[in-house]
Structure 1
């Protein structure tokens, strides 16, 4: 249960980000300041955790204690490994830029739904890379997700004219970028401890964003002039806690259940859009949210059903 709760809390953390960003835009802060302060805070917190773990490990070593099984990974990282991890983290920075930019053009509830398309993109890319034809279960899942997205986005209520195409494009591209991050990050130097891997990847994302948007907010007074609370909340709930909580829970509950619990991000974001930002969320949109959650759960449900079904002879699986 504690591992399931870790993944659930990580998804909830992701779900509140768009509301914080919208509030930051309302205070006049720019895209580079919002994303840059988030990653700078997340980077500091991640390396603080690595440092704390190193201190604990050193104390245990002096006392002659054996390192726990969860910590049986290489304590040091070579420069080659560090570069690979920083490169693997760059899509995180790109996702933040694209997703947060979409919030300037479209409602929060639509932006999170567009980002959420990563749920089927990863499955589709995996099927193509393995040269497997999509089966009926996958096609049904894609159809449910697509239908749920149309409903939850409010297209049937407001029509396409209510949404700016540029915002929709940025939101969809954020899903593509996040899909790339998921596919790359899991394969990047898996022997390194999760906390250290996360720290290096956040560092790469931060440097990537700082190249595109030089961090003038660090020296021109913007940080202490109101940006710091937003940067801290975004860094804590977006760049630091979710990767850590996922690293704790995912190895114990598996990717299937992680996908289901991770879907909590969607209703949290839509709920906060309605309650905090006072965006109108109709009954059709809530029905769409339910459909999207069902679509995310379908692959795991089909997998469990196929496990429980009796095998028949003479028929290939």
Structure 2
């Protein structure tokens, strides 16, 4: 498979993440609650992942390793809860912008726990992302109504996602990525079911339409992205992969505009482009530097 094929897989993985918020909003419009939409998403995601995991190579894990993988998925579960909660207050296009604030929050966590200060390019990237967020949020538009609760839940989602990335990078357990994803998603499901009992399994919500939304959010949020990223990321590398996976932002905005009929102004689109530029900036610079070194060799 050629490099552009792997790049396309990563790009499509980001797009897959981007459509989830639209299905969550549609689920809310049908009268389903947070516990039903979120619980069904991770339940179906777990089922689909395990259905594929039985065909991949496995290693015998110790109880401690099982527990470590299960617990390491908790921040991912909290991200789902917080993000879906935010979607009940604010537009899908605004929610995804808040979630992407994990980029600079991750730098802060890195500094707090490792004492590793961000470099100049990372700081510049943060400034660009924050500037783009101001425009993309519609803050400068006088007719935009903001929800403090929605913004709070959205930022909590960004914080928990930053923790998920930080913890995932330090979980050195050699296991097939799909098998690992299945275990972690199962842990997420248990967390959600403990905090929000899965009453939807017995109250008839599944047969009244929730089944479709659970299947779609589980497919595009828990199954497709991990598989595409696990295939493409090792080939394209983390720098280019970060840029390509940012496709979730424009996809979420496009879906919310076309399907949910949310209004996105010209300045908000400019903000989206600036955010993508901020994400790409340090990675493009690093990619150029690496290319120059290889060329000189």
What is residue 19 of structure 2 aligned with on the other side? 16
> 2-side partners of 1:112 and 1:234: how far apart?
15
Gaps of 5+ in 1: 54-70, 311-317
**Could you say what secondary structure the match of 2:43 adopts?**
helix
Tell me if the contact between 1:198 and 1:244 (Cα under 8 Å) persists in the aligned partners.
no
- Aligned residue in 2 for 1:90: 74
> What is residue 265 of structure 1 aligned with on the other side?
248
CA-atom RMSD, angstroms? Answer: 1.7
TM-score norm. by structure 2 comes to: 0.93
Contact 2:200 2:206 survives alignment (8 Å): yes
Task: Select the residue among 233, 236, 240 that pairs with 1:253.
Answer: 236
Q: 1:141 aligns with which of 108, 125, 129?
A: 125
Deviations 1:41-68 (A, max 9, x none): 0100111111233xxxxxxxxxxxxxxx
Structure 1 residue 80: Cα displacement: 1.7
TM-score, structure 1 as length reference: 0.87
Secondary structure in structure 2 of the residue aligned to 1:192: coil
Residues of 1 paired with 2:211 and 2:292: CA distance? Answer: 55
Residue of structure 2 equivalent to 1:99 = 83
> Which string of whole-angstrom CA distances, capped at 9 and with x for unpartnered residues, describes residues 91-139 of structure 1?
1111011001111111111111000111222234334544344433222
**5+ residue gaps in structure 2?**
none
Comparing 129-138 with 110-119, greater Cα deviation is found at 129-138
- Give the one of 181, 184, 187 matched to 1:201: 184
CA distance in 2, matches of 1:110, 1:299: 24
Q: How does 1:1-317 map to 2 (within 5 A)?
A: 1-53=4-56, 74-158=58-142, 162-307=145-290
Report how far residue 294 of structure 1 moved: 0.2
User: Matched residue pairs, number?
Assistant: 290
